[in-house]
Chains A and B, each alone.
Chain A
Amino acid sequence: MIVTHELTKRYGRVLAVDRVDLDVREGDRYGFLGPNGSGKTTVVRMLLGLVYATSGHIEVMGKPVPSRVAEVLPQIGALVEGPSCYGHLSGRANLALIDASGRARGPFGRRTRRRRIAEALDRVGLAGVDRRPVKKYSLGMRQRLGLAAALLRAPRLLVLDEPTNGLDPQGIREIRDLLAELNRAGTTVFLSSHQLGEVELLCTRVGIVDRGRLVLQEDLDELRAPTGRVVVHTPDADRAAALLDGRVEQRDRDRLVVAEADPAEVNARLVTAGLRVSEIAPERRSLEELMLSVTGSGSDRIDAPGGGPDEPHQSGPAAAEPGEPGPGEGEGTR
């Protein structure tokens, strides 16, 4: 669906995207993750032909971008860096204007416009929206309207940049269900986000960028496969540790990490010995741990230059902090 090869974008002296090889397959729910300023949005813009790559190739639906981007864009629904609207017009009028822009005939022409707008508004939960201008909308309503605009032409590919920004938990859940439903109906979803929870719950595949480079691209199931250890919570932690002597790798009060692949086995041993188990599960790496292990801090964090003689107290800990949790946890779980 989306294939890039050595995609690179340079703004002056800044290397925003550095030799990225994306591979999004048809039917994927692809989560495109990365800290702020890591180049996610630049990649998205290049996929849509808004920003021209410095070097490298892009293919979307088998067509080269940007040279033949006009052929694929009608089949793409996009939400890039938040929704935009004409504030003085109503939601429906905005959708009508957006839909009327650009050539379209047949099923997505003028005749079906009213019906398609109604359907899109219904899908995003704005079916009952009135005629008030968009500038009076809440952030969440705008976000929904932006999504509706992306859905107007029943796209084969949805490219969404932070689609749940500004939504409340209920709204986030609704949008997630909507995206899953669209995906089941055959739409490929490319979701760019820095909200791990959102990606973890929705996506089947993730790509992680850090400072312009794609540092990881994998199916989520594989990434989150059991690590071969079991996490046990037990009020009888001391006795459990003694019982499982030598296999306990970490202990944090009543939480034990045991080097054993099968939780049922561990559970049976503990219970047979008369120990109480309040919680037991195979250890999995969370997406957060994974993310922290492969990426640095985002570009929105600006540390003081290290080792300055004037402010030894500030620069020391500040410089060390972002690096620490990453490698530490990465090694611990491998």
Chain B
Amino acid sequence: MILVELVKLARRPRSWVSIALLCGLPVLVAVFVAVTHLAPPPGQGPVLLSAVLSNGSLYPAAALAIVLPIFLPVAVAVVAGDTIAGEAGSGMLRYLLARPVGRTRLLVAKLISVIVYTMTAVVAVAVTSYVTGRLLFGVQPVPVTSTGVASSNLAAGGVATSLSGTTLTPADILVRTIGAIAFIGVSMLGVAAIALFLSTITDSSLGAALGALAALVTSQVLVTLNAAGSVNPYLPTRYWLAWVDFFRQPILWRNIDRGFAVQGVYVVVLLAAAWANFATKDITS
């Protein structure tokens, strides 16, 4: 069943179009920056982008920062929201279950296909932007100062701007980029879990995707709200930008660990809720 779901995912034009768009945006940004040499000053605009002009191999990280706030969550929410609700909407759900495909099996297969999509999208963005970065900005063999990453407005919590100033070897950058990819992948899994849960509730894939996005927007608003400080550490988007800490020297693990933990809890709870709902639901679509 897992294989069948992956085949379905792969044969949907939408999967590839969305990944192409995700990869296209950083390329577009890179072209503008490379042509004008006008990078945003540190602390403004997408994270890490200011550092890219001096070293193209940081561009994957910058590219992820570009797609992370909106583009990537939207794509993941759409795909994850479509999982069960999409089958229900097209009327295939009843035929799959009557085949029979066990409800738990179907849910697991859908979850895995969403994970595969998410990781494919993140890795594709990283790889294409790496190529773009090398082509447009080149790689200085000179060790660069690891970015004085301004904690952007989203990560405005406890992490203050720290100019580490030490140098990073290419191998270092690779390892840290992989760490960042993993962290972003898990963050997106949190988004996917919300959308998947909603997908088992409604028969409208659009509704599930919008619901998940509404939850994210709410979370983003509350993160910046001092009055909501008491719930701040538990918001799903609270630690989204903590992956930037992979590019500090030494790596600042505190928020990264918390980010993993928060997403882990969201994923476990929401998937359990999705399973409980789907396994006992009357399929009337």
Contact = CB atoms under 8 A, between A and B. Distances in A.
Interface of A: 45, 48-52, 69-70, 73-74, 76, 78, 80-89, 93, 97-98, 100-102, 149
Contacts of A51: 282-284
B141 interface: no
Given A50-B98, A78-B98, A100-B7, 20 more contacts: A45-B284, A48-B98, A49-B98, A50-B97, A50-B282, A51-B282, A51-B284, A73-B99, A76-B98, A78-B95, A80-B94, A80-B98, A81-B91, A83-B91, A87-B90, A88-B11, A93-B11, A97-B4, A100-B3, A100-B4
B92 to A, nearest CB: 5
A102 B282 CA distance: 20
B90 to A, nearest CB: 6
Interface string B267-285: 0000000000000101110
B102 interface: yes
B96 interface: yes
A52 B12 CA distance: 32
Nearest to B109: A101
Nearest to A149: B95
A101 B96 contact: yes
Interface string B92-128: 1011111111100000000000000000000000000
B8 A73 contact: no
B280 A45 contact: no
B221 to A, nearest CB: 35
Contacts of A78: 95, 98
A86 B282 contact: no
9 contacts: A45-B282, A50-B98, A74-B100, A78-B95, A80-B94, A84-B91, A84-B94, A86-B90, A101-B101
B160 interface: no
Nearest to A153: B99
Interface in B64-95: 90-92, 94-95
A51 B93 CA distance: 12
Given A45-B283, A88-B13, A50 B94 contact: yes
Given A88-B12, A100-B4, A102-B1, A49 B97 contact: yes
A100 B100 CA distance: 11
B12 A84 contact: no
Interface of B: 1, 3-4, 7-8, 11-13, 90-92, 94-102, 280, 282-284
A84 B90 CA distance: 6
B64 to A, nearest CB: 30
Contacts of A81: 91, 94
A70 B3 CA distance: 20
Nearest to B280: A52
A84 B97 contact: no
B283 A50 contact: yes
A56 to B, nearest CB: 15
Contacts of A70: 100, 102
A69 B1 CA distance: 18
A52 B284 CA distance: 10
Contacts of A74: 99-100
A97 B99 CA distance: 11
A51 B4 CA distance: 25
B98 to A, nearest CB: 5
Contacts of B282: 45, 50-52
A70 B99 CA distance: 9
B99 A102 contact: yes
B99 A89 contact: no
B91 A82 contact: yes
Nearest to A84: B91
A148 B4 CA distance: 19
A84 B280 contact: no
A147 B187 CA distance: 43
Contacts of A82: 91
Contacts of A87: 90
Given A78-B95, A89-B11, A149-B95, A102 B100 contact: yes
Residue in A74, A102, A149 with the greatest tally of chain B CB atoms within 10 Å = A102
A271 to B, nearest CB: 59
A102 B96 CA distance: 8
Given A52-B280, A52-B282, A85 B92 contact: yes
A86 B5 CA distance: 13
B204 to A, nearest CB: 16
Residue in B12, B13, B96, B100 with the greatest tally of chain A CB atoms within 10 Å = B100
A98 B4 CA distance: 9
Contacts of B91: 81-84
Nearest to A152: B99
Contacts of B13: 88
Given A45-B283, A50-B283, A102-B99, A97 B7 contact: yes
Contacts of A52: 280, 282
